[in-house]
Amino acid sequence: MAEGSRAPSPSGRATVWVNCAVSADGRLAFAGGARAQLSGPEDLRRVQELRTEVDAILVGVGTVLLDDPSLRVHWELLGRPPGRSPQRLVVDALGRTPPKARVLDGSLPTVIATSERCHRTFPSHVRTVVAGRERVDLAALFTRLPELGIGRVLVEGGARILASVARAGLFDRWTIYYAPRFIGGLTAPPMLAGPEAGNLDATVPLELVGLERLGEGYVAGYRPGRRGPPAAEGVT
């Protein structure tokens, strides 16, 4: 992570770093949400380095349902022996994580963030955090994470989680790898799901803090720009 990323967030919550890979036209996946491997080998190694520097990797349940990620550090890509692994953190308001999902295999510490609407019982090795009544309140969740030993969290997706974090201003850094490809179309998911901004005041302001060529693509780094008070955001 960039210099200063280890410092606690001034808001009192966990420090939140968002990272994603998109096509040159801002798509996260292929038509219908089919998984797209957009990162080149250089970016894959960069992401693994990011993972080694955080306490947890966060995804939404939609990503678990579509991709069944392990959310582990791929030490083999870094060319060094395994070290400390971050926890896995899944936002799942209704308890939809499949019983055989890799995030529930017990190989790494896992936290499921859910809502009061969830009545599912998860395996004993999984910790659950109730944060919100109807949906998971991300602001409340991020504030509680330090109690769980999670001071730094890496948010990796999907589009609904990214949108909620962005629109509520709940991030400290945001890095995007832009792959030199266009996907286009109407069903390929954009980086941010949900409502569109109708005017400039409804957009999420950013400050560019870094831009570098990486393999065939490039990585842009941002931090939050100046904005008004954030709106409450929740995800299912």
Q: 136-137 and 87-91: which strand pairing? A: unpaired
Quote the pLDDT of residue 226. 83
Quote the pLDDT of residue 126. 97
**Tens-level pLDDT at each residue, the chain (236 residues):** 443 344 456 668 999 999 999 999 999 999 999 999 999 999 999 999 999 999 999 999 999 999 999 999 999 999 999 999 999 999 999 999 999 999 999 999 999 999 999 999 999 999 999 999 999 999 999 999 999 999 999 999 999 999 999 999 999 999 999 999 999 989 999 999 988 999 999 999 999 999 999 999 999 999 999 865 555 567 76
Residue from 65, 61, 50, 45 nearest 16 by CA: 50
Whether 232 is in a domain gets the answer: no
CA distance 95 to 192: 23
Whether 25 is in a domain gets the answer: yes
Whether 100 is in a domain gets the answer: yes
Whether 216 is in a domain gets the answer: yes
41: phi > 0 → left, psi -120 to 50 → alpha, else beta; which? Answer: alpha
Q: pLDDT, tens digit, for every residue of 12-62? A: 899 999 999 999 999 999 999 999 999 999 999 999 999 999 999 999 999
Distances in whole angstroms, Cα of residue 99 to Cα of each of 95, 121, 129, 164: 10, 10, 18, 26
The dihedrals phi and psi of 81, each to the nearest 5 degrees, come to -65, 155
Whether 123 is in a domain gets the answer: yes
As for how many domains the chain has, the answer is 1
Stated pTM of the model: 0.91
Q: What is the CATH number of the domain that holds 116?
A: 3.40.430.10
Whether 235 is in a domain gets the answer: no
Query: What is the biggest distance separating any 2 CA atoms in the chain, rounded to whole angstroms?
Result: 50
Whether 107 is in a domain gets the answer: yes
Whether 234 is in a domain gets the answer: no
Domain of residue 119 covers 15-226
Residues 6 or more apart from 207 whose CB is under 8 A from it? 222, 223, 224, 225
Quote the pLDDT of residue 235. 73
